[in-house]
Amino acid sequence: MSYSNSNYATHSPALPSFLFLLADDIGWGDFSYNNGTALTPNIDAWAKRDGSVLLQDFHSGGTVCSPTRATILTGRHHFRDCVDFVYGCSDMSQCVPNFEFAPSKTFTVGDAVRTAFPEEYDGNGVFFAGKWHLGSFFNDSEAYGGTTSSPLTHGFNKMNATIEVAPTATLNCQCKAEWKKHCKFGHYHKPNHCFPEGECCFNYWWDDPMAPHGVTNLTWPTPLDDSLYLADAFSRFLEERSSSEKPFLAQISFHHCHIPFIASEKAKRDCAAGKTCRLPEKGEPLYTDQELDYYACLTELDNAVGIILRTVQEYGYYNNTMVWFATDNGPEHNCPPLGICQKADTHPHRPVEGPGSSGPLRGRKRDIYEGGHRVPGVVSYPSEVRGGNHITWETATTMDFLPTVMEMLNVERPENQRTWAMDGRSILPLLRNPTNFTWKETTEGVRSLGIAYRHHDRKVADGWGFRFGPWKYVHGSMSCTVAECQRPQLYNLDDDLGERHDLSAKHPDILANMTTQFNQWFHSVSKSRHEESKCRLADLLPLPGSSRTDSEIN
């Protein structure tokens, strides 16, 4: 890929711009820079480019879709704002279970840029495109017994978005006959995202003051590859933005490569022929059709990311734009080679096996083990990142986006939220000195992270975890063995990235320390729900290691 300086690059705004690219259900080991099967030349080259940092200890704030999406916007663990699990918003008027994301209007990253420089970022400068999965778009959902919770009520002023799960190909009502059996893509057994009900439709919506609910939907065909629709939506947005010579903040949330991942026949043939994929080793079986769909989906995503980065470059924004790339959680569940996912097949649409790879990490999506939430992470910001080819193993997370933006723009949360808990930290010091930066030498000291997983109907056990420097506490995880599920575990990730050697018996003092730290964090989460966000579900926080909820105990 060529990044030569372009003729378009004439008037870049003085203020920085921000772009968050979020992919779906892709594992730490899936891109070719980490030995993945699909070749991802655009992402690989970007991670190595001058001004980029590859973050190898980067985490999604949640272990499933909706939770991580909340953490990007608020810089807080998702439980603090009652985004406890994956929501179904198959019915536009009402999400199931009905919920409000951050009902007390928790400060978001869109609010941050608009507060700092209202005239510069306002007027369609704060754009959300792709999979929202944090509530209903109708501005009058309350009239149907639901709650409006759209990009427009959480800091963005322009959108081109889908509600939740959608296939990676040809959204917009062009159902293929063979997809009909998948038409219940919407979560929680609601039919789908269609109007009229019963049609198979996963459509894009945007703000429209002339439309009855304040939003309108797309009425023309989308491309076979959905990531091209999003690349196109971003190009249109940036073309308009650049003509005003103003900065922007955008989040592009791809559907690639959540199930159902569907790739073009040509892309699958190219993978099978070894043009876009590593071929199976001698003696290994050929890739299955499902694997080819997944690998080709990764190639499509990589291509769309390349288009978006070139667009940023062409309009003269690249040097002064901070671009983040992450995925929302690890890959969809799988059993081999360790057979540690005996509880993974509880959902009718969930394949027990999936082709995605978390590399050497243990576990996958929904796991407290690293495979659930240690995900690909790349940040580029040439104005501040000097010298090329940086790789860091310092911890960072999707929750760091907001505090980093706040530090860059020197903006604070509103007076009444200033003392609210925030789990994220600004990574600006890391970006300025990726070679030598370590959290332990900062004034806040060693980095800690709380990790949680909850299933909406509690049929699947909760998972809890805590990270403190190299130490990792795990109490319940999707793929723990029966014996492991019953006791707290302790791992040292410096020596045991794959979390195979439980050190709880060897280091009871460290386990006790981690348990205390976890409990302190958990207490602070509970306090956030009751005293900060004050959401309706505040009392429903489950207690770790117990089937009782917070309110039942109190």
Ligand X SMILES: *[C@@H]1O[C@H](CO)[C@@H](O)[C@H](O)[C@H]1NC(C)=O
List the Cα angle 466/427/363 in 5-degree steps: 35
1: helix, strand or coil:
coil
Sign of torsion over alpha carbons 407, 412, 417, 420: positive
Q: Is the Cβ of residue 9 or residue 543 nearer to ligand X in the bound state? A: 9
Q: At residue 519, what are phi and psi to the nearest 5 degrees?
A: -65, -35
Closest listed residue to residue 86, CA positions, set 102, 67, 71, 99? 67
Q: Supply the minimum distance, in Å, between the C-beta of residue 460 and ligand X.
A: 29
Residue type, 478: M
Q: Please, what is the minimum distance in Å from the beta carbon of residue 227 to ligand X?
A: 12
Q: How many helices (H) and strands (E) does the chain have?
A: 12, 18
Which residues on neighbouring strands pair with residue 18, listed in sequence order? 249, 322
Measured from the CB atom, the residue of 175 and 406 that comes closer to ligand X is 175
Shortest distance, position 317 Cβ to ligand X, whole Å: 9
Taking the C-alpha atoms of residue 253 and residue 401, their distance in angstroms, rounded to an integer, is: 15
CB nearer to ligand X: pick between 107 and 229: 229
Q: Return the SS3 of 189.
A: helix
Smallest gap from residue 402 Cβ to ligand X (A) = 25
Query: Whose Cβ is closer to ligand X: residue 213's or residue 364's?
Result: 213
CB atoms closer than 10 angstroms to residue 118: 10
Q: Which three-class secondary structure string do you get for 253-295? A: ECCCCCCCCCCCHHHHHHHHCCCCECCCCCCCCCCCHHHHHHH
Measured between alpha carbons, how far is 506 from 528 in angstroms, rounded to an integer? 35
Question: Cβ of 6: how many Cβ atoms within 10 Å?
Answer: 14
Nearer to ligand X, 453 or 522 (CB): 522
For ligand X, the closer CB: 290 or 320 = 320
Least distance from ligand X to the Cβ atom of residue 206, Å: 4
Interface with ligand X (CB under 6 A):
5, 9, 34-35, 139-140, 160, 195, 204, 206, 209, 211, 213-214, 216-217, 219, 229, 232-233, 236, 316, 319, 359-360, 382, 433, 435-436, 513, 516-517
Number of residue whose CB is nearest ligand X: 214
Residue number with CB closer to ligand X (5 or 244): 5
Q: Compute the least distance from the CB of residue 156 to ligand X, in Å.
A: 13
Cα gap 358→329, rounded to integer Å: 10
Q: How far is the CB of 416 from ligand X (least distance, A)?
A: 24
Least distance in angstroms from the C-beta of 217 to ligand X = 4
Q: Which is nearer to ligand X, 85 or 471 (CB)?
A: 471
Contact between residue 403 and residue 75 where contact means Cβ atoms under 8 Å apart: yes
